[in-house]
Chains A and B, each alone.
Chain A
Amino acid sequence: MIQKELMTVVSQSEIAKNIFEMTLKGALVDQIDEPGKFVHLKAGEEMMPLLRRPISIARIEPEKQELTMIYRAEGAGTSALSRKRAGDQVDVLGPLGHGFPVQEATPGQTALLIGGGIGVPPLYELSRRLNAKGVKTIHVLGFQNKEAAFYTEQFAALGETYVATVDGSLGEQGFVTDIVNKHGLQADIFYSCGPTVMLKAVEQLHAAPNGYISLEERMGCGIGACFACVCHPTADETGTAYLKICSDGPVFKAGEVAL
Chain B
Amino acid sequence: MTRLALELPGLSLENPIMPASGCFGFGREFSQLFNLSELGAIMIKATTEEPRYGNATPRVAETPGGMLNAIGLQNPGLEKVIANELEWLKQFDVPIIANVAGSQTEDYVQVAKEISKVDNVHALELNISCPNVKTGGIAFGTIPETAKELTKRVKEVSEVPVYVKLSPNVTNIVEMAKAVEDGGADGITMINTLIGMRIDLKTGRPVLSNRTGGLSGPAVKPVAVRMVYEVSQQTNLPIIGMGGISTVEDIIEFSLAGADAVAIGTANFVNPFICPELIAELDHYLEQHNVDHISELKGRSWK
A interface residues (Cβ-Cβ under 8 A, vs B): 1-2, 4, 42, 47-52, 93, 217-218, 220-221, 223-232, 238-242, 247
Other-chain residue from A1, A4, A218 in contact with B272 (beta carbon distance below 8 A):
A4
With A218-B60, A225-B25, A228-B60 known as contacts, the answer to whether A51 contacts B268 (CB < 8 A) is no
Name the A residues within 8 Å of B270 (CB-CB). 42, 50-52
Once the chains bind, are B57 and A224 in contact (CB under 8 Å)?
Answer: no
What separation, in Å, do the CA atoms of A51 and B61 have in the docked complex?
10
Once the chains bind, are B57 and A218 in contact (CB under 8 Å)?
Answer: yes
Q: Mask for B67-92, Cβ within 8 A of A = 1, else 0?
A: 10101001011000000000000000
Once the chains bind, are A2 and B32 in contact (CB under 8 Å)?
Answer: yes
With A51-B269, A93-B272 known as contacts, the answer to whether A228 contacts B57 (CB < 8 A) is yes
Once the chains bind, are B52 and A217 in contact (CB under 8 Å)?
Answer: no
With A42-B270, A50-B217, A220-B269 known as contacts, the answer to whether A226 contacts B69 (CB < 8 A) is yes
What separation, in Å, do the CA atoms of A212 and B32 have in the docked complex?
26
What separation, in Å, do the CA atoms of A183 and B119 have in the docked complex?
63
Chain B interface, DSSP helix/strand/loop, else mixed? loop
What separation, in Å, do the CA atoms of A241 and B271 have in the docked complex?
28
Other-chain residue from A51, A217, A224, A241 in contact with B62 (beta carbon distance below 8 A):
A51
A-B contact pairs, 23 of them (CB 8 A): A2-B33, A42-B270, A47-B218, A48-B64, A50-B63, A50-B66, A50-B67, A51-B67, A217-B57, A220-B69, A221-B29, A221-B269, A223-B29, A225-B268, A226-B60, A227-B45, A227-B59, A228-B57, A228-B59, A228-B60, A230-B74, A240-B51, A247-B29
What separation, in Å, do the CA atoms of A71 and B217 have in the docked complex?
27
Interface residues of B, CB < 8 Å — how many?
Answer: 39
Name the A residues within 8 Å of B33 (CB-CB). 2, 223
Chain A interface, DSSP helix/strand/loop, else mixed? loop
Once the chains bind, are B74 and A50 in contact (CB under 8 Å)?
Answer: no
Interface contacts beyond A50-B218, A225-B29: sample of 16 additional A-B pairs, CB < 8 Å, sorted by A: A2-B33, A4-B271, A48-B65, A50-B66, A50-B217, A51-B67, A51-B269, A221-B29, A223-B30, A224-B25, A227-B25, A227-B54, A230-B57, A231-B57, A240-B50, A242-B74
The answer to the question of B23 belonging to the interface, with a C-beta cut-off of 8 Å to chain A, is yes
B interface residues (Cβ-Cβ under 8 A, vs A): 22-25, 28-30, 32-33, 45, 50-54, 57-60, 62-67, 69, 71, 74, 76-77, 217-218, 266, 268-273
What separation, in Å, do the CA atoms of A52 and B67 have in the docked complex?
12
Which residue of A has the minimal Cβ distance to B24?
A225
